[in-house]
Amino acid sequence: MKIICIGRNYAEHAKEMKSEVPTEPVFFMKPDTALLKDNEDFYYPEHTKDLHHEVEIVIKISKAGKHIEEKFAHKYYEEIGIGIDFTARDVQAKCKEKGLPWEKAKAFDGSAPIGKFVNKSTFADLNNINFKLDVNGQLRQQGNTKDLIFSFDKVIAYVSKFVTLKTGDLIYTGTPEGVAAVNIGDVLTCSIEGQELLSFHVK
Ligand code: MG
């Protein structure tokens, strides 16, 4: 399986990163070794001094497809979940400065914690889902999918033009504003519409 991540998919986050709001989706990938499941502990990586959380709604692909039309994209996923796109912000800044790829900043082991999935039929409107990240019991990031620049279906249509999507692939759909540093000892807890789906310790 592969992990596809959408960058700058919420305008307020693009602004806080002093990045342009994109006119077409920006995506990058993480390998399967980035996944961190079952609320396992996350070990702060040695190659960064400025690790940031990015809480994101995650789509689980349920059927293989290529060149999927936006109007049919909803047939390619049944479940959504929530995860963290961990980013070594200092390493990413250096990569950006030099025009180099981001893998060291984004794709390291454990950089994609993922929680439990829920059937999408649980939600009345996928374009109006509240989600949040608490750090040590305090609200740190919150978003609503109505603020997505590119909806789930648009993202699937766009990415599948270039990359065949396969059953089990995950798409991290982008983070709202409020990204910040995490520290050893923190507990990160992620919820969708008040339902806690992911909680883990940083060690
Ligand atoms: Mg992200």
Give Cα 41 distance to the centre of its chain: 18
| 160 in Cβ contact with 174 (< 8 Å) | no
Q: Which helix (H) or strand (E) holds 3?
A: strand 3-7
Q: Report how far ligand 1's centroid is from the alpha carbon of 124 (Å).
A: 25
Mean pLDDT on 49-76? 98
Average pLDDT score over the chain: 97
Q: Report how far ligand 1's centroid is from the alpha carbon of 185 (Å).
A: 22
Q: Report how far ligand 1's centroid is from the alpha carbon of 174 (Å).
A: 5
Tokens of 98: 């030099």
Domain boundaries, given as residue ranges, for the chain: 3-201
Q: Report how far ligand 1's centroid is from the alpha carbon of 128 (Å).
A: 19
Q: Report how far ligand 1's centroid is from the alpha carbon of 86 (Å).
A: 8
Residues 107-149 pLDDT 10s: 999 999 999 999 999 999 999 999 999 999 999 999 999 999 9
- The confidence score (pLDDT) of residue 52 equals 98
Percent of the chain with pLDDT over 70: 100
Alpha carbon distance 13, 140 (integer Å): 14
Q: Report how far ligand 1's centroid is from the alpha carbon of 85 (Å).
A: 5
Mention every residue, 6+ apart, whose C-beta is less than 8 A from residue 102. Answer: 28, 92, 95, 96
pLDDT at 19 over 90: no
Percent of the chain with pLDDT over 90: 94
Q: Report how far ligand 1's centroid is from the alpha carbon of 138 (Å).
A: 21
Looking at residue 63, what DSSP letter applies?
S
Residues 76-102 pLDDT 10s: 999 999 999 999 999 999 999 999 999
- The confidence score (pLDDT) of residue 7 equals 94
Give Cα 110 distance to the centre of its chain: 13
Q: Which helix (H) or strand (E) holds 192?
A: strand 187-192
- The confidence score (pLDDT) of residue 121 equals 96
Domain 3-201: CATH class, spelled out: alpha beta
- The confidence score (pLDDT) of residue 173 equals 98
| 13 in Cβ contact with 175 (< 8 Å) | yes
